[in-house]
A and B are shown apart, each in its own frame.
Chain A
Amino acid sequence: MPDAAPEIRFEKVARRFGPVEALAPLDLTIAGGSFVALVGASGSGKSTLLRTVNRLDEVAGAMREGSVRIGGDPVDGLAAPELRRRIGYVFQSIGLFPHLTVAQNVGIGRRVRGGAMPPDEVARLLDSVGLDPSLAARMPSELSGGQRQRVGVARALADSPQILLLDEPFGALDPVTRAALGEKVRALHDQRGLTTLMVTHDMAEALLLADRVLVLEAGRIVADAAPAELAAGRAGEAAEALVAVPREQARRIADLAK
């Protein structure tokens, strides 16, 4: 069992792009070991919030206000590459390196630190995300969309991070693959004892995978509740609008079977 996963604390974190306030100053603590979903429409600030954790928001240029702490240490205390090597990151467009094999993609984190990942470790890692280890020698272009995102997850977990950031990780997958991979990631979270932050616009996915759901609207948190409270309609008006859709769909599908 790895060390207890660290908590992530946001203190008065705000972000603006020109005149647009992407994030209003917010305070938030994500408990170590929890799986938290950030839900909201496009432009609600959920990805921006996520990317302050591994400082990928800096790529866009503008300055971040406030501070983000992981286990008490500010993220600015380390050089950005060093910080990012300790945090797993999976995003919708995956970003596999097209000129590298699956094994080389999965082993890139080790290479970045001057090492190399032995083949048996690559095989174990691929197996852990539900991929046949014989795919190790393939190029990304030879894989299906679902296989590619599994490689993406394997790459993110390759160097045993304690924090996993997921930005719409399953957005481009078909519903069956999406559900299966979601369950897989939740299982890996539990098994490895991670602190996981997942951005999604799909409330059903958030309810079924997360321990806690935050709803964002125009850069502010408008709801913060456990899935059970949300499902029961006790998390406020803004959240209820989002929960009503999958609840209604589930009811109508159940009606069809009668």
Chain B
Amino acid sequence: MSALLAAVGTLGDELAAHVVLSAAALALGIAIALPLTLWSARNATVARLALGLASLIQTIPALALLALFYPILLWLSGMVGGGIPALGFLPALLALALYAVLPILRGGVTGLAGLDPAVREAADAVGMTSAQKLRWVEAPLVAPYVMAGIRTAAVWTIGAATLATTIGQTSLGDPIFAGLQTQNWVTVLAGCVAAAALALAADSVLALVERGIGQGSMGRHPLLGWIGLAVLAAGIGWALWPGAASKRETIVVGAKNFSEQYILARLIGERLEAAGYAVTYREGLGSAVVFRALDAGDIDVYVDYAGTLWTGEFKREDNPPRAAMLREIGELLQNPGGARLIGPLGFENAYAFAMRADVATANRVASLDDLVRAAPRLTLGADLEFLDRPEWAAVRAAYPLRFAATRKYSPTFMYRALESGDADVITAFSSDGRIAADKLVVLGDPRGAVPNYDALLLASSKCAAAPRCREALEPLVGAVPVGAMREANYQVDRDTDKRDPAEAARWLAGRLAGPVSQ
């Protein structure tokens, strides 16, 4: 319990970012919903269309809606010649605002539809103009319905804002996603508790505002309304307060969604901080998003893997030797303003088909060639992306694998599935500490179908062009031994005596090879 409280206590920055994002999205949602409500009140077709569209948006999972804004903004940015950030605050704001529209609009339209026709007639009969009728009759009578909608929207928005982490916006989702990947349940719970507490607090404060404009049996209590507004303003003011924010130049370090990436991001971040930069992290980014984010300058540095870029970004189907592939990737990353290769870190994290030793022995499997024969009796457990990746197509082209079944897992659960026997073969990662710890058998690739996955340090052209940034990164080139990386990964992934990624990164920093200077 005290560990949980301590974990919640460290979430100040995430909470502030979450409050700013939710409040801004709610405000934008209100700004969209209110005029739509008024227009709907005067035109039944508009009402049908607006409600239909808002309901349609609501059926899109929040995660997908957030992700969709990335390509949309990227495209828009391309249309106007750049300058629109496609990651972080803007797409999160837009997606969440769209999400907030429906409850407010529905509240307003319901309230207007339920307005007593006699009251409208009386308003006309005493000679009110349209504007007077709106201000003195419709608005005050519909306000409680709209306010109820705003309360619902606030709770939804605060909940969905945790997903903004996946498009690189700091939020209370950061500890949830990081904790899920590294199986740090205290961190996950801390994020959930903080988000739930924020939602409850916002709902209570808005309930006070509602009392301020309320009608009927509850009566109107303007004082409560003003108190509610004051608390609301104070909360948003606190979140916007710059606090300890520095005026140092900021570098954004990106990471995909598995332990090694979190550790490397911290390793890189610590070096950049030592070089005098302010560092922010955008972690948990999807494979498809992260390279484009770097190419567009939304993030400044991250680690990707040679084979991933080769097949995924550059759509190559050949498999040249390691040195040739590295050279060619360096040449491909020369577009003006685009991503740059700093260099390989010195270890590989390849997709590796792995089995439990007893299962491999029982089926007499040692290589992918052997697996072709045994596959029809076996279940393949893959990570969430692998089956859709070109590498899988390449492997199947070289080895006609037909499994009895295939299942998808997040990386952590994939190893669990292998252990429990739910999966017989998994698409493991060669730098994963669990391969050694669980005594897994890695199957050979005699036909050379899987490309190499040397870890490559990539930077934005801004960072690559700045000597201070470049000099902070270059000592990492060739300096991370695979053994040290495995051990660091295992420190985060193991079930007992777990370390968080920052601690593992500090441990790793002390194991770097070669003359790495601080």
Quick check: A98 and B141 within 8 Å, CB to CB?
yes
In-complex Cβ contact of A95 among B125, B129, B215 (8 A): B125
Interface string of B202-231 (1 = CB under 8 A from A): 000000000000010000000000000000
Q: In the docked arrangement, what's the CA distance between A84 and B118, Å?
A: 16
Quick check: A98 and B126 within 8 Å, CB to CB?
no
Quick check: A99 and B127 within 8 Å, CB to CB?
no
Quick check: A84 and B121 within 8 Å, CB to CB?
no
Helix, strand, loop or mixed for chain B's interface?
A: helix
In-complex Cβ contact of A84 among B119, B127, B137, B141 (8 A): B127
Interface string of B113-144 (1 = CB under 8 A from A): 00011111111111111001000110011000
Quick check: B122 and A81 within 8 Å, CB to CB?
no
Q: Which residues of A contact B120 (CB under 8 A)?
A: 95
Q: Which residues of A contact B (CB under 8 A)?
A: 54, 56, 59, 80-86, 89, 91, 93-99, 108-109, 111-112, 155
Q: In the docked arrangement, what's the CA distance between A197 and B116, Å?
A: 25
A127 to chain B, nearest CB (A): 21
Helix, strand, loop or mixed for chain A's interface?
A: helix
> Which of B118, B127, B128, B140 has the most CB atoms of chain A within a 10 A radius of its CB?
B127
Q: A95-B116, A98-B141, A99-B141 are in contact. Are A82 and B127 (CB under 8 A)?
A: yes
A142 to chain B, nearest CB (A): 12
In-complex Cβ contact of B126 among A59, A84, A94, A99 (8 A): A84
Q: In the docked arrangement, what's the CA distance between A59 and B129, Å?
A: 13
Q: A93-B118, A97-B137, A98-B141 are in contact. Are A54 and B125 (CB under 8 A)?
A: yes
Q: Which residues of B contact A (CB under 8 A)?
A: 116-129, 132, 136-137, 140-141, 215
Q: Which residues of B contact A86 (CB under 8 A)?
A: 127
**Could you list 18 examples of A-B contacts with CB < 8 Å?**
A56-B125, A59-B124, A80-B124, A80-B127, A83-B127, A84-B124, A84-B127, A85-B126, A85-B127, A91-B121, A93-B118, A93-B121, A94-B122, A95-B119, A95-B121, A95-B125, A96-B119, A155-B126
B288 to chain A, nearest CB (A): 53
Quick check: A95 and B122 within 8 Å, CB to CB?
yes
B146 to chain A, nearest CB (A): 14
Q: In the docked arrangement, what's the CA distance between A248 and B350, Å?
A: 104
Quick check: A94 and B124 within 8 Å, CB to CB?
no
Q: Which residues of A contact B122 (CB under 8 A)?
A: 91, 94-97
Q: Which residues of B contact A95 (CB under 8 A)?
A: 116, 118-123, 125
Quick check: A112 and B125 within 8 Å, CB to CB?
no
Q: For A84, give the chain B residue with the smallest CB separation.
A: B127
Q: A98-B215, A99-B215 are in contact. Are A109 and B118 (CB under 8 A)?
A: no
Q: Which residues of A contact B132 (CB under 8 A)?
A: 81, 112
Q: A84-B127, A112-B127, A155-B126 are in contact. Are A59 and B119 (CB under 8 A)?
A: no
Q: Which residues of B contact A93 (CB under 8 A)?
A: 116-118, 121
Q: In the docked arrangement, what's the CA distance between A81 and B131, Å?
A: 11
Q: In the docked arrangement, what's the CA distance between A95 and B115, Å?
A: 11
B122 to chain A, nearest CB (A): 3
Q: Which residues of B contact A155 (CB under 8 A)?
A: 126
Q: A56-B124, A59-B124 are in contact. Are A97 and B129 (CB under 8 A)?
A: no
Quick check: B140 and A112 within 8 Å, CB to CB?
no
Q: Which residues of B contact A59 (CB under 8 A)?
A: 121, 124
Q: Which residues of B contact A109 (CB under 8 A)?
A: 126-127
Q: Told that A93-B116, A111-B136 touch, could you supply 19 new A-B pairs with CB distance under 8 A? A: A56-B121, A59-B124, A81-B129, A81-B132, A82-B127, A91-B122, A91-B125, A93-B117, A94-B122, A95-B116, A95-B119, A95-B121, A95-B123, A96-B122, A97-B123, A98-B116, A99-B140, A112-B128, A112-B132
Q: In the docked arrangement, what's the CA distance between A256 and B126, Å?
A: 47
Q: Which residues of A contact B118 (CB under 8 A)?
A: 91, 93-95
Q: Which residues of A contact B136 (CB under 8 A)?
A: 97, 108, 111
Q: In the docked arrangement, what's the CA distance between A8 and B123, Å?
A: 23
Q: Which residues of B contact A84 (CB under 8 A)?
A: 124-127
